[in-house]
Amino acid sequence: MSTKNWPLWEVFVRSKNGLEHRHFGSLHAADAEMALENARDVYTRRNEGVSIWVVESKHITASNPEHNGELFEPAQDKVYRHPTFYNLPDEIKHM
């Protein structure tokens, strides 16, 4: 029986040039090259992509949803970062 399992990889696919790579899912593979080949077969069987990135899942650092308050709440009361915060006369054009 196998003693070591293939590590997990995250797959990012660019659907077409001009768009960013987007997370598509994950898969297991022995190394980066196999991860790319498997990603081709698993996630782009119908022309879904023109470019693939793979990264071993363990290299991703993710924020913890429990800390969402301290991470994201500070942005909530800063309405002055949005254009609608500023009162201008209706007649003004091109702004």
Partner 1 sequence: MSEEQIKSLENQFEARIARDEKIEPKDWMPEKYRQTHIRQMSQHAHSEIIGMLPEGNWITRAPSLRRKVALLAKVQDEGGHGLYLYSAAETLGISRDEMFEQLHTGKAKYSSIFNYPALTWADMGAIGWLVDGAAIINQVALCGTSYGPYARAMVRICKEESFHQRQGYEIMLKLSQGTQEQRDMAQDALNRFWWPALMMFGPKDEDSPHTAQSMKWKLKRKTNDDLRQQFIDQTVPQAELIGLTVPDPDLKWNEERQSYDFGEIDWDEFWQVVKGHGPCNKERMAARVNAWEGGAWVRDAAMAYAEKQQERKTKQVS
Residues engaged in binding partner 1 (CB under 8 A): 1-6, 8, 25-28, 30-31, 34, 41-42, 45-46, 62, 64-66
Q: What is the DSSP string of 2-70?
A: -SSPPPEEEEEEE-STTS-EEEEEEEE-SSHHHHHHHHHHHH-TTS--SEEEEEEGGG-----GGGHHH
Nearest to partner 1 of 19, 30 (CB atom): 30
Q: Residue 60 gets which letter from DSSP?
A: -
Nearest to partner 1 of 64, 76 (CB atom): 64
CB of 29 to partner 1, least distance (A): 8
Nearest to partner 1 of 76, 84 (CB atom): 76
